[in-house]
Amino acid sequence: MAHTDQPHFMDVFKSPFFKVVLPSLAIFLLLRVVFWLSTFPNPDEAYYWLWGQHPDFSYYDHPPFQAWVEGLFTVVFGKSFFTLRLPNLISNAVFFYVYYRISTYLYGKDGINSFWLSVVLILASPLYFLFLALAWHDHWLITFSLIAAYQFVRFLDSYTVDGLGETKRLYGAGVAIAFAFLCKYNAIFVAAGLVATVIFHQQWRPLLRDRRLYLAGAIALCGFIPIVLWNVNNDFQSFQYYVNRSVDDQGFRLKIGETLGFIGLSILTISPVNAWAMVQVIKRPRSNFSMQHPSSYHTVAIWIFAISTLALMAVSLVSTALYYWNINAYILLFQLLPSVFIKKRQPEMDPACAFQDSQISTHQLRKPLFYSGQFYGLLFAALLVIHYSVIPLSAFGSPDGDPDSRMLYGWDQVGAAVEAQRAAMGDRAFLVTTDYRSASALAYQLNDPDVLAISDRIDQFDFWYDPNALKGKNAILLSDDWHPIQPKLLAQFEQTSSPITVPVRRFGIWIKNYYIIQGKGFKGE
């Protein structure tokens, strides 16, 4: 149960650890502000923004929550970099406030120290620094998942005490999981971790006969309702996409290299220091993390981590699993990491119990370990912001390297060139590109939700594309070297012009070329 001596929220700024973390915290925040206010949308950020301009129950690539929020915010506040990432500011505030509540719940007054250490450890993870900043689905996913796990822990702890539990906590967890499902499908790993906690631990197993658990599950499944409705109306295309994405069409074969890559990238993006600390808290007995009042927190944290990580490692053995799909695996572990960074005060005292002592001092901080992790995180954060906001670092290497990041640059120039070509045609020609990324970026730049992508890849644009409605019209076609225009697309027009090259440079350094073609008389075949 919670400590009876709970701090006031404003006491967080009186913590001696606040002064310790303040320098790195200030730099992290500065880098985040630079990114949020000055960086052109990553192609997927623009893609999800565009979904929001076409409201629907769900979408082909992902569930709808991010798109719904982007659409609403654009209507209310207009289009800008600030508006695009304003939802991130809100989700970040909620995310770290929940961490504050967890810290004070587990550690009482000393939870403030734990809170500040957890905050900078999270920010020092390149994975979380980036994915909490990008206007993708992940920032909402981990926020709702953290809320769900916290509420479930509170329910289990109260159930352990009185055999009944706080029902509102259980239903709150169900609601939060429902919203997590509306963000990304890998929220299922969090739900599975919560269920596994009940199934595999005797003190909570009686809940399997408690109808409240199943009602909470039904509430969680409500998050799938709009997703199912969209799939019913679209031949279950989204579900097929994810099934096919997880299956190697070249036949069964073990991919040890994929698994090693998944593990290696996970360690690098969590940060090697954080990864080492997580190993320490995972291998300790649960009793070491009971604090003054026993809690299910450590058990729930381990189950979520284990199910998500092992499931994705299994996928990586036969297909592809991306490191950031596992972003939910670590969200509860971060709150246990501060114990690793605090020295034992007495030989018999486990560092996990250090926060029980109200006299904890900043002198107990393992400074070499802590500052090495902060240096790693700050270095990566600075490089990420330079890469995304100033110049792609890949521009100094191979001219073909990292085509995704190169697409962040030059859209004011490309947009102006496209508009000039459209004006030269003398009518309202429709705009089409050869890939969803360039179509989304062009749509965002021109604030034109009718831009289309015509390519061999199935994406959300295929569900908006109506060739009969475009028949006979003229078009402006945009392509690049990554996705060159195909002859079969040119053949869809009665006449096409020679391409105009639009080179993109940054500080005199060549980034990439775009190509613009005028197409007349679309056949729509």
In a domain, 23, yes or no: yes
pLDDT of residue 289: 47
Determine the structural domain holding residue 490 and report its residue range: 405-522
Same-domain pairing of 268 and 357? yes
Q: Is residue 447 situated within a structural domain?
A: yes
Judgement on whether residues 319 and 415 belong to the same structural domain of the protein: no
pLDDT, tens digit (0-9, with 9 covering 90-100), for 282-340: 987 655 544 556 789 999 999 999 999 999 999 999 988 999 999 999 999 999 999 89
| Residue whose structure tokens are 């381990």 | 302
Q: Within this chain, do residues 158 and 275 fall inside the same structural domain, yes or no?
A: yes
Would you call 271 exposed, middle or buried from its count of C-beta atoms within 10 A (0-12, 13-18, 19+)? buried
pLDDT at position 357, please? 39
Q: What is the pLDDT of residue 353?
A: 44
82 with 140, same domain?
A: yes
* pLDDT value of residue 250: 60
Tell me, yes or no, whether 354 and 415 share the same domain. no
Residues 143 and 14 in one domain: yes
- CA dihedral angle for residue 19, residue 22, residue 23, residue 25, rounded to 10 degrees: 160
Among residues 340, 358, 386, the one where a domain terminates is 386
- Residue 393 placed within a domain: no
The tens digit of pLDDT for each residue in 493-517 reads: 999 999 999 999 999 999 999 999 9
* Domain co-membership, 70 together with 189: yes
Domain's final residue, options 329, 355, 386: 386
Same domain, 368 and 411: no
Write down the pLDDT at residue 518. 96
Residues of the chain falling short of pLDDT 50: 1-4, 289-290, 346-359
Q: What are phi and psi of 317, to 5 degrees?
A: -70, -25
45 assigned to some structural domain: yes
Do 69 and 211 share a structural domain?
yes
- Return phi, psi of residue 504, to 5°: -110, 125
Cα–Cα dist 438/434, whole Å:
7
Pull the structure tokens for residue 525: 């075949």
**What is the longest distance spanned by two Cα atoms in the chain?**
83
- Residue 398: inside a domain: no
Token pair listed for 239: 């579900």
Contact 414, 462 (CB under 8 A): no
Sign of the alpha-carbon dihedral angle for 514, 517, 518, 523: negative
- Residue that is last in its domain, among 330, 357, 386: 386
Q: 200 and 134 in one domain?
A: yes
Q: Do the domain assignments include residue 291? A: yes
Residue 399 in any domain: the answer is no
What would the two tokens of residue 14 be? 């009186």
Which pTM does this prediction carry?
0.93
pLDDT score of 383 = 97
Q: What is the pLDDT of residues 238-263, one digit of tens each?
A: 988 877 765 655 656 788 999 999 99
In a domain, 31, yes or no: yes
Q: What is the pLDDT of residue 378?
A: 98
Q: What pLDDT is stored for residue 414 in this prediction?
A: 98
Same domain, 480 and 382: no
Q: How far is CA 278 from CA 3, 109, 265, 273, 506, in A?
A: 25, 24, 15, 9, 40
- Amino acid 14: pLDDT: 80
Number of domains the chain contains: 2
488 φ, ψ to 5°?
-70, -25
Contacts of 333 (CB under 8 A, 6+ apart): 278, 281, 282, 301, 305
> Is residue 345 domain-shared with residue 482, that is, in the same domain?
no
Q: For 78-112, b where at least 16 C-beta lie within 10 A, e where not — what string? A: eeebebbbbbbbebbebbbebbbbbbbbbbbbbbb
